[in-house]
Amino acid sequence: MRSTSEGADSRVPVAVLGASGIVGQHMIRLLTDHPIFRVAEVACSPARRGRRYGSHVDWIVGPAPPSEAAGLRAVDAEADGLDSPVVLSALPSVPAVRLERSLSGAGHVVCTNASAHRMDADVPLIVPEVNADALESPQGQRPSAGGGVLVANPNCVVTGLALALAPIERTWGVASATIVTLQALSGAGLAGVSGLALTGNVIPWIEGEEEKIGPELRKVLGSEVAVAVAVNRVPVVDGHTAHVFLRLERPA
């Protein structure tokens, strides 16, 4: 175990899982100079273990890795364990399945962007502006002996949809939603669709994406809205667009 103390810095230490991927990089960027949290540990693949983060990461979300994180040596969260009380996970689904529950059971507060546990009955699926009260749900998981808990955020498309649909659902009710998405290249990650495949092209399929949107949206909204969705990968760098057609339960 490593000490996470850093002089007189009183901010809460945070570990980032999957720190070398696009989502992990954005997490580190947003934590830089944060008033409450600081990056204390970066967890990457075993092949990067022990290497300084700034020397091995293919940094693409700005000019250079923040100095706050650049000097940290990468750890293997499974082999080394983590000291930080808060863990932000940007892991792919397969390693997330085993590691996130293990870390929450060991006393860490794990906030995950991965899809592995989103639909688990005891895992709150949170969009803070919509359903922060789900964190207090008595049906939720019991904190571990060390106070650990696992909380998820939804799919990127669902987050935007939930923000737009929640006030409509609460005012008039939403009976059904038909959704067509236009999703950016960055959503596929560093090893996603090649630029050549998307030159002058739109790909009307993203593996596993359509299946997530309806169930996750219903869980966040707490509503049985019927959802039909078609997803498309389009040649833009950042940002997803959704065309949404609603049938309401009451006249608006």
Q: Which tens digits make up the pLDDT trace of 170-200?
A: 999 999 999 999 998 776 665 666 766 777 8
Going by C-alpha positions, the residue among 172, 164, 181 that lies closest to residue 232 is 181
44, 111, 117, 156: the active-site residue = 156
Q: Which tens digits make up the pLDDT trace of 202-217?
A: 999 999 999 999 999 9
State pTM to two decimals. Answer: 0.87
Q: Which tens digits make up the pLDDT trace of 100-157?
A: 999 999 999 999 999 999 999 999 999 999 999 998 865 667 777 788 999 999 999 9
Q: Which tens digits make up the pLDDT trace of 46-56?
A: 888 999 999 88
Q: How many CB atoms lie within 10 A of CB 246?
A: 18
240 noted as active-site residue: yes
Compute the mean pLDDT over every residue in the chain, rounded to the nearest whole number: 90
Q: Which tens digits make up the pLDDT trace of 4-42?
A: 445 578 999 999 999 999 899 999 999 999 999 999 999
Which of 236 and 39 is assigned the larger pLDDT? Answer: 39
34, 56, 240, 243: the active-site residue = 240
Query: Tokens for 82?
Result: 């983590």
